[in-house]
Structure 1
Amino acid sequence: MKILLVQHLCFLNGIGGTEKICSTLANIFNEHGHEVEIATNENVVGMPVFPLSEGIKVTNIFDPAVEQKKEFPIYNYRGKNPFLWLKFKAKKKYHKWYNWRLKYTLGGEAKLYQYNLRKRSIAWNKYIDQLKPDLIVTMSISSLLEITFGNSLPMPIINSVNGRPDYDYSNIWGGRKPYMVDLLTHSYRYLDGIQILFDSYRRFLPSDFSGECRVIANPIELGDCTKLAEHSSTKERYKIIHVGRLDTACKQQHLAIELFNKLAKKYTQWDLEFWGTGADFNRLNEQILDLDLSDRIFLRGFTEDPIGKMKDADIFIFPSQYEGFSLALGEAMGVGLPSIGFSACSGVNEMIKQNKTGFLALNKEEMLIYLEKLIQDSSLRQQMGIKAHLSMKDYNLDQMVKGWMKLIDTVITKKGI
């Protein structure tokens, strides 16, 4: 069987959880004898970051000839040169007029969005028609919309959900206009199957979905029981660690810095360490410099060995506002780190068991209390770390493989292929 995985953006050079799961799925399908291709549509030069088995093809269908009508950016000149101010003022007025004219000509902002989307979906349809896959797996509802808008694809489609389902199509966190929400929601009608991460996530699927739904968790890499994070021995320095994209809107690393600052003078042997890259590096670095803690808080950047970094740490702090299924959190728990997150954070509140494998805080004040509690008690860190490690054993690759093979067989059978 020929299987096409579609992640229309961010697959090339991408280091996130979705990219990792996309590569993992491709390898699973390949190992089960299927012909596998991954497709994206990105105006970038790059390669997949996570390893792929030999024979898996990656195709970037991006074509600069595909028309995309774009609005001009609007920005204000902030310099003091009066001539440049006049120049940019005139440019700003022209850009506003151009943008208005563009949307007016096409029938409004929503029509402009659909115009560009349709041009891309035609390109997808042409590519898919030539490839003729037996099954398509989309890595997000946005990718599903890209390939189905205005198209009639005959093959079954399964969507892999790497977050809470409503994050894919709603406007909970802002940024999506009502017409985008409508299009994303209605695209569920094209799905024959969907994979979700937790059973509780079923209630977040829209009524437009009527296909097969299966709970298939992501696999967590577990450390050897004899090589977990060490909590029983005395150290010169202790580490609170965070691994993830530097994104304060979602990951809220600034809160971890704020909390550590309140404890730093009292616990002088402890440091805070961040591993990851992202758009908010400068903001976080400025926060660290303002607090004069650059010798205690470190932005380490990207690592190819997050497991090794976690094993060398003592506490995992994860103050995210929202998650789907955090691989970083799962890996931290897997190597025996007690973890702290927010009780209102989806995914996190499914993985951390309160007072057993870590702590779920109601707010940052409570998170500070839990953090200090773990700093003070190495035996508590040890007990919680072992329980955290054991709790991650259900999240293994074998279970993921069985779940996906069963979902595919069910969908293919129902489709009559």
Structure 2
Amino acid sequence: MKQHILVIGAGFGGMWTALSATRLFDLHGHDSVEVTVLAPQAELRVRPRFYEPNAHQLAAPIGELFDAVGVRFIKGRAETIDVHNKQVGYLDAAGAQQLCSYDKLVLATGSRLARSGTAGVNEHAFDVDQIEQAVRLEQHLKSLADQPDSAARNTVVVAGGGFTGIETATEMPARLRAILGEAADIKVIIVDRGEKIGASMGADISVSIAQASAEVGVEWRLKSSVAGVDADGVTLADRQRIEASTVIWTTGVRASSLTEQIPGERDALGRLHVDSHLKVIGQDDIFATGDVAYAASDDIGNHALMTCQHAIVLGRHAGNNVAAQLLGVAPTPYSQPKYVTCLDLGAWGAVYTEGWDRQVKLVRQEGKALKTQINTQWIYPPAANRESAWAAADPLIPIA
């Protein structure tokens, strides 16, 4: 009977895990292990682009890719993990409860927007965390054209001045003008706790963020936070009121709640502590990758962030190493010492940085050209043939 590796999740971490595992088995001429991916859909949802328009197009099918490398796909949503009996309970495509057994498990279920307890957020705020929410926001923005001209209609408030908040906000003036017309009196406001524009991103990059915000028409309300959201806008912690028909919540993410079903230490974001091979510490048969893994990316104290930049490399290593464990060959320790940032800043362009201190290397249209290449080419799945897929799944491929 074949041994079984079960990968939960088909995002960047999960997809690359499956490709990398089958790659190593092929290199060793080993065909007695089945690799299965369990996920709600056989597609890679390109989450880093959900701040853009046309979100419904931002998913790449990967069923044929899995077929090409011999990965079995189960359409379903994992709900329970029984570590003792090595079983995962899931709802299948028909909504029926099912069980799937495993010999080795790789958790790659990603993260979700960390919604706060702020009043009215769940009822009235939009977000760009998942493709369905991004589509919902786009439908709402288009509906604004049917509303009477008003300050509230023309105003978008973005709660949170981190990566997602900045990209969403700086793209928004152009999106609104495309819907409401060039003459519309557009107002886009980022509400952020920081003391200066882009403070959470670092001193060097914040200069570019401030320049871009001024040029594209994004205001910042600094040293502030949203105390409440309602159908007509937001109330800030200092009781100031902003009338707005559109409020977008972008205040951080948290690892999938399935991590709570695996005994092990977790960080403040819910990520499981893993060793250098991405095996969950204290669990011999469970690996974690992508946004659910708290993994050291170098030997000077940095850890992988919850980004596709890290999830791609984490996935390649997790797949290689879970396969290596079954083969009895040496694993490849995870290491990703190079860290870069490429932040889209709307019509201004983009800013590209290198290093954990985010030293600016490219700005404006040079940065935008690189960002476009990343968003439309580098992060997409490889071609659906085993040679190119396995070549791309090598964990030792350098990646920015």
Shorter-normalised TM range: under 0.3
TM-score of the two chains, using structure 1 as the length reference? 0.27
Relative to its length, the structure with more helix (as a share) is: 1
- TM value normalised by structure 2: 0.28
Higher strand share: 2
Give the structure with higher Rg (CA).
1
